[in-house]
């Protein structure tokens, strides 16, 4: 992604400003309309219901009319659509304090959001026609920054205007006028845009969910991510939904409301940035669930605190946790799915996030209103408890449950105590679980593309280890067993035509199951060091990334085939396919003769797998000289070798470990 490059395109810069202003107006209108609804009522319950009704009126159009608005916007001039919508939005917002009636407020809220659908569809189309295809992804990400980055700005602006209004024009009228003015400034900016006729695309929420469910929904990873995304949405939307009511009970008024709103979004933004960068040595999957569990714990004091300043800080912390979980989740999707499925998985997660946000935002104030205000007494101690406290506590519980469920679903280090795993990541010394007594050996896999040098290096390592007193078994996939040799012949013979990709995957997995059962496990049980030339990662890279089958499904099939046996160390010999394939003089077999693009995907796949679990891999540049590669491998293997002389024997004989240096 080349974001600064996109900004060099002048029309895009202008559009980005318009997108930011429109986003600012959108968020300001949420704040100002809910605040105005609250000011038009005079009881806790009626106020909460009014706030809930405004939020529902504002959120309904996107669910009901999203794709329809897109289809209509397709027929209209983009620039004029945006200009007219901005003018109408400004007029509607300003009409609210003038008409000064709750019914009109609801209608105006609905209409503003309905019109905004057209603005967004037209804006997205202009964006598509403004930047070249290669910059489109970067430009879309910047558009998202404009849409969501304007939220904290809106919160702070709203708080500032509310403070000024206290002196000039008490009540939220002034904030509505400022919102109207922002839409007018957006109108002026939009006016200077060039008219573009690029196709409008507004994916429907339901369509995105069904599509995601069909293609990627079955894997535990995606199920865990979806549950967690719902949890993060519940945490943030519950606070945002009741913020106006909460601010009032803490005497913060509209300014306090704006500050809580801004705090949640500042935290969210920071979390989105930091999430993928946190604890690099720790399992990303475990981190996702864990972050959510911690976020749910922050929501408890958010629910119970009776101090406005503490509420600001806690809200920011809550946003940080939710943002870190979501950011980490998206990084997982980027790392674990190939391109086509990645878009589906991201769309699915985003749609689920929006649906849960919309639902919770609308329901939270209604539930708070239904619970009402109560005073709790225990002896002499009194505590004012109201619907907001109740709603936030329920939200904390739901977030906790989602965190626990996604942790369980996504855990990729089952059996490894979390505390040891965490301290390993914090100290930079990854925790390696003790090998069960009956499997005292060490399992090393060599992986990489064609001609990377796996066979050569596996042989050299075995010689070196044997010279140093270890019992070593070298083996390979496919073809290390009698059955395996037959499978290898079927798999690699160019005469084998029409083999389906799934059948191919299963044949490799069958070879592996036989190999592990009859060669690898018995050798490990004897205490040998087993060195295999290829293992599960070859299937993930060749059949997953190369053949474009779902990586997670292949992982599940293969883990089942080998009863979960993982190498202690995987050496990835990373070689550009153009170099590796040229190292052979023999005719290419069925897989080697696949096109270059296939081998490029395989090579990228190997790297992605290794980068996702750096503690288990050694990545070596296989274009180096053989001797240098051997040196790097020996250095790494030294660090994972078992002591060849048991401690008890050492006590008696004072023998030093056999290997001293490379
Ligand atoms: N670092 C290196 N530099 C140059 N040539 C090398 C290097 N390593 C191995 N070779 C040569 O490349 C060829 C392929 O090596 P090798 O059979 O070890 O690769 P491989 O990864 O096992 O291949 P395959 O894809 O068949 O499994 C051999 O002729 C070998 O001598
Ligand atoms: C284990 C495994 C292998 N392959 C492919 C990779 C190679 O092209 C051949 C094996 O040949 P080699 O000379 O022994 O390296 O099979 C695969 O596609 N999937 C697998 O799981």
Q: pLDDT tens-digit profile of 456-510? A: 999 999 999 998 889 999 999 999 999 999 999 999 999 999 999 999 999 999 9
Give the number of the atom of ligand 2 that is nearest the alpha carbon of residue 534: 1
Cα(563)–Cα(567) distance, integer angstroms: 12
**Average pLDDT taken over every residue of the chain:** 89
- Site to substitute for ligand 1 among 456, 572, 599, 627, most atoms within 8 A of C-beta: 456
Which ligand is nearest to the Cα of residue 509, counting in written order?
2
Residue 496 annotated as lining a ligand binding site: no
In angstroms, what is the span from residue 535 Cα to ligand 1's centroid? Answer: 17
Whether pLDDT at 412 is above 70? yes
For the four alpha carbons of 449, 451, 454 and 455, in that order, the dihedral sign comes to: positive
Other C-beta atoms lying within 10 Å of the C-beta of residue 355: 18
Q: Which residue(s) pair with 375 in the sheet?
A: 384
Residues 6+ apart with CB under 8 A from 156: 258, 259, 262
Give the number of the atom of ligand 2 that is nearest the alpha carbon of residue 454: 15
Nearest CA to ligand 2 atom 5: 591
Closest residue by Cα to residue 333 from 589, 608, 42, 55: 608
In angstroms, what is the span from residue 515 Cα to ligand 1's centroid? Answer: 23
In angstroms, what is the span from residue 592 Cα to ligand 2's centroid? Answer: 9
Residues 6+ apart with CB under 8 A from 62: 113, 117, 205, 354, 358
Range name among 8-17, 106-115, 520-529 with the lowest pLDDT average:
8-17
Task: For the chain, report the end-to-end CA distance as a whole number of angstroms.
Answer: 42
Cα(658)–Cα(194) distance, integer angstroms: 75
- 634: which 2 tokens? 């020996």
In angstroms, what is the span from residue 572 Cα to ligand 1's centroid? Answer: 13
Give the number of the atom of ligand 1 that is nearest the alpha carbon of residue 623: 1
Cα(156)–Cα(399) distance, integer angstroms: 27
Range name among 23-32, 71-80, 242-251 with the lowest pLDDT average:
71-80
In angstroms, what is the span from residue 628 Cα to ligand 1's centroid? Answer: 14
Which ligand is nearest to the Cα of residue 631, counting in written order?
1
Give the number of the atom of ligand 1 that is nearest the alpha carbon of residue 452: 21
- Give residue ranges with CB within 6 A of ligand 1: 448, 450-456, 583, 622, 625-626, 629
Cα(610)–Cα(618) distance, integer angstroms: 8
Digit-coded pLDDT (tens) for 346-363 = 888 888 888 899 999 999
In angstroms, what is the span from residue 592 Cα to ligand 1's centroid? Answer: 14
Phi, psi of 658 (to 5 degrees): -65, -45
- Site to substitute for ligand 2 among 496, 538, 548, 594, most atoms within 8 A of C-beta: 538
Name the one residue in this structure whose structure tokens are 């013979």.
493
Whether pLDDT at 413 is above 80? yes
In angstroms, what is the span from residue 415 Cα to ligand 2's centroid? Answer: 31
Cα(637)–Cα(148) distance, integer angstroms: 48
| ipTM higher than the 0.85 cut | yes
Digit-coded pLDDT (tens) for 313-324 = 999 999 999 999
> Are the CB atoms for 478 and 488 separated by under 8 Å?
yes
Residue 428 annotated as lining a ligand binding site: no
- 117: which 2 tokens? 């659908």
Cα(16)–Cα(147) distance, integer angstroms: 9
Residue 214 annotated as lining a ligand binding site: no
**Domains with residue ranges and CATH for the chain:** 1-202 (1.20.1250.20), 206-433 (1.20.1250.20), 439-653 (3.40.50.300)
Closest residue by Cα to residue 322 from 352, 298, 355, 305: 298
Nearest CA to ligand 1 atom 30: 453
In angstroms, what is the span from residue 611 Cα to ligand 1's centroid? Answer: 23
Digit-coded pLDDT (tens) for 134-162 = 888 888 889 989 999 999 999 999 999 99
Per-position b or e across 406-441, b if 16+ CB within 10 A of its CB = bbebbbebeebeeeebbebbeeeeebeeeeeeebeb
Instruction: Report helix angle 220-249 to 387-410, nearest 10.
Output: 160
Which ligand is nearest to the Cα of residue 585, counting in written order?
1
Cα(644)–Cα(657) distance, integer angstroms: 7
> Are the CB atoms for 24 and 182 separated by under 8 Å?
yes
Nearest CA to ligand 1 atom 25: 450
Nearest CA to ligand 2 atom 13: 450
Which ligand is nearest to the Cα of residue 457, counting in written order?
1
Which ligand is nearest to the Cα of residue 475, counting in written order?
2
Cα(576)–Cα(581) distance, integer angstroms: 9
Nearest CA to ligand 2 atom 8: 591
Digit-coded pLDDT (tens) for 615-661 = 899 999 999 999 999 999 999 998 888 765 444 444 444 343 444 44
Residue 455 annotated as lining a ligand binding site: yes
- pLDDT for position 548: 95
Q: How does residue 221 score in pLDDT terms, banded at 50, 70 and 90?
A: confident
The three-state secondary structure class of 1 is: coil
Range list of H helices, 476-540: 482-492, 501-515, 521-525, 536-539
Name the one residue in this structure whose structure tokens are 């395109």.
9
Cα(323)–Cα(309) distance, integer angstroms: 21
The whole model's pTM is what?
0.64
Cα(409)–Cα(228) distance, integer angstroms: 10
Cα(637)–Cα(659) distance, integer angstroms: 11
Q: Pick the most confident of 5-19, 424-438, 459-473, 500-514.
A: 500-514
In angstroms, what is the span from residue 603 Cα to ligand 1's centroid? Answer: 15
Residue 454 annotated as lining a ligand binding site: yes
Please tell me whether the peptide bond between 461 and the residue prior to it is cis, using omega within 30 degrees of 0: no
Give the number of the atom of ligand 1 that is nearest the alpha carbon of residue 457: 18
How much of the chain is helix, strand and coil, in % rounded to 5?
70, 5, 20
- pLDDT for position 384: 76
Give the mean model confidence (pLDDT) for residues 355-384. Answer: 87
Name the strand (E) or helix (H) holding 128.
Answer: helix 102-130
> Are the CB atoms for 533 and 455 separated by under 8 Å?
yes
Residue 281 DSSP code: T
% of residues, the chain, pLDDT over 90: 66
> Are the CB atoms for 21 and 83 separated by under 8 Å?
no
Digit-coded pLDDT (tens) for 538-575 = 999 999 999 999 999 999 999 999 988 999 999 999 99
In angstroms, what is the span from residue 456 Cα to ligand 1's centroid? Answer: 6
In angstroms, what is the span from residue 454 Cα to ligand 1's centroid? Answer: 7
Give the number of the atom of ligand 1 that is nearest the alpha carbon of residue 573: 21
Nearest CA to ligand 2 atom 16: 591
In angstroms, what is the span from residue 594 Cα to ligand 2's centroid? Answer: 12
> How many Å is the Cα radius of gyration of the chain?
30
- Give residue ranges with CB within 6 A of ligand 2: 450, 476-478, 492, 508, 534, 538-539, 542-543, 591-592
Digit-coded pLDDT (tens) for 576-618 = 999 999 998 889 999 999 999 999 999 999 999 999 888 899 9
Residue 650 annotated as lining a ligand binding site: no
Give the number of the atom of ligand 1 that is nearest the alpha carbon of residue 592: 25
- Site to substitute for ligand 2 among 455, 457, 478, most atoms within 8 A of C-beta: 478
- pLDDT for position 128: 83
Per-position b or e across 69-85, b if 16+ CB within 10 A of its CB = bbeebbebebbebbbbb
Which ligand is nearest to the Cα of residue 581, counting in written order?
1
Residue 625 burial (10 A CB sphere; 0-12, 13-18, 19+): exposed
Put residue 289 in one of left, alpha, beta given phi > 0 → left and psi -120 to 50 → alpha: alpha
In angstroms, what is the span from residue 575 Cα to ligand 1's centroid? Answer: 10
Phi, psi of 408 (to 5 degrees): -65, -45
Q: Would you state the torsion angle of the CA atoms of residues 481, 487, 490, 493, taken in this order, to the nearest 10 degrees? A: -40
Residue 477 annotated as lining a ligand binding site: no
- Site to substitute for ligand 2 among 539, 542, 577, most atoms within 8 A of C-beta: 542
Which ligand is nearest to the Cα of residue 512, counting in written order?
2
In angstroms, what is the span from residue 283 Cα to ligand 2's centroid? Answer: 28
The three-state secondary structure class of 157 is: helix
Range list of H helices, 372-442: 387-410, 418-427
Do β-strands 569-574 and 442-448 pair in parallel, antiparallel, or remain unpaired? parallel
Cα(270)–Cα(293) distance, integer angstroms: 18
Residue 42 burial (10 A CB sphere; 0-12, 13-18, 19+): exposed
Residue 424 annotated as lining a ligand binding site: no
Per-position b or e across 374-390, b if 16+ CB within 10 A of its CB = eeeeeeeeeeebbbbbb
The three-state secondary structure class of 32 is: helix
- pLDDT for position 374: 83
Q: Would you state the torsion angle of the CA atoms of residues 212, 218, 220, 225, taken in this order, to the nearest 10 degrees? A: 10
């Amino acid at each position: 992604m080349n974001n600064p490059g996109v900004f060099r395109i002048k029309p895009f810069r202008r559009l980005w400003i318009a997108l930011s202003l429109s986003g600012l107006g959108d968020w300001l209108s949420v704040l100002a309309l809910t605040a105005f609804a609250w000011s038009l009522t005079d009881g806790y319950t009626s106020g909460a219901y009014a706030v809930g009704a405004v939020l529902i009126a504002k959120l309904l159009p996107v669910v009901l009319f999203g794709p329809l608005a897109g289809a209509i916007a397709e027929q209209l001039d983009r620039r004029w659509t945006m200009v007219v919508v901005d003018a109408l939005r400004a007029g509607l917002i300003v009409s609210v304090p003038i008409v000064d009636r709750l019914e009109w407020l609801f209608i105006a809220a609905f209409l503003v959001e309905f019109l905004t659908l057209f603005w967004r569809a037209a804006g997205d189309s202009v964006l598509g026609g403004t930047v070249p295809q290669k910059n489109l992804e970067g430009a879309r990400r910047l558009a998202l920054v404009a849409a969501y980055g304007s939220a904290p700005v809106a919160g702070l602006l709203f708080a500032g205007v509310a403070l000024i209004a206290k002196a000039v024009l008490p009540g939220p009228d002034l904030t509505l006028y400022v919102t109207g003015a922002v839409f007018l400034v957006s109108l002026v900016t939009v006016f200077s845009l060039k008219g573009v006729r690029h196709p409008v695309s507004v994916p429907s929420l339901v369509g995105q969910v069904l599509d995601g469910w069909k293609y990627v929904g079955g894997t535990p990873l995606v199920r865990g991510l979806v549950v967690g995304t719902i949890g993060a949405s519940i945490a943030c939307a519950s606070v945002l939904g009741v913020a106006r009511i909460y601010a009032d009970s803490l005497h913060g008024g509209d300014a306090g409301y704006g500050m809580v709103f801004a705090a949640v979004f500042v935290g969210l933004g920071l979390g989105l940035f930091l999430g993928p960068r946190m604890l690099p040595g720790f399992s990303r999957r475990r981190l996702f669930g864990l972050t959510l569990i911690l976020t749910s714990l922050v929501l408890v004091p958010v629910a119970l605190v009776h101090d406005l300043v503490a509420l600001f800080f806690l809200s920011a912390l809550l946003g940080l946790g939710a943002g870190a979980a979501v950011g980490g989740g998206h990084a997982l999707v980027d790392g674990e799915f190939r391109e086509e499925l990645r878009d589906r998985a991201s769309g699915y997660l985003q749609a689920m996030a929006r649906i849960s946000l919309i639902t919770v935002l609308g329901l939270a104030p209604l539930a708070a209103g239904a619970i009402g205000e109560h005073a709790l007494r225990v002896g002499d101690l009194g505590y004012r408890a109201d619907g907001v406290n109740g709603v936030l506590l329920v939200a904390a519980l739901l977030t906790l449950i989602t965190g626990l469920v996604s942790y369980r679903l996504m855990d990729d280090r089952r059996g490894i105590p979390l505390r040891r795993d965490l301290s390993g990541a914090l100290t930079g010394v990854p925790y390696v679980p003790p090998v069960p007594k009956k499997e005292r050996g060490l399992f090393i896999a060599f992986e990489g593309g064609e001609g990377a040098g796996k066979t050569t290096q596996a042989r050299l390592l075995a010689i070196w280890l044997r010279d140093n007193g270890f019992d070593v078994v070298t083996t390979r996939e496919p073809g290390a067993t009698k059955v395996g040799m037959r499978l290898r012949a079927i798999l690699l013979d160019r005469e084998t035509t029409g083999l389906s990709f799934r059948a191919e995957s299963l044949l490799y997995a069958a070879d592996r199951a036989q190999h592990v059962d009859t060669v690898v496990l018995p050798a490990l049980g004897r205490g040998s060091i087993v060195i295999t030339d290829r293992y599960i990662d070859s299937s993930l890279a060749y059949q997953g990334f190369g053949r474009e089958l779902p990586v997670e499904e292949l992982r599940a099939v293969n883990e089942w085939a080998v009863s979960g046996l993982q190498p202690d160390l995987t050496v990835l010999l990373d070689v550009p396919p153009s170099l590796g394939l040229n190292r052979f003089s023999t005719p290419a077999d069925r897989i080697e003769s696949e096109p270059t693009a296939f081998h490029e995907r395989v090579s990228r796949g190997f790297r992605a797998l290794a980068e996702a679990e750096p503690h288990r891999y050694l990545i070596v540049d296989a274009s180096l000289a053989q001797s240098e590669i051997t040196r790097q491998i020996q250095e790494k293997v030294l660090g994972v070798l078992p002591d060849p002389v048991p401690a008890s024997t050492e006590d008696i004989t004072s023998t030093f470990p056999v290997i001293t240096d490379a």
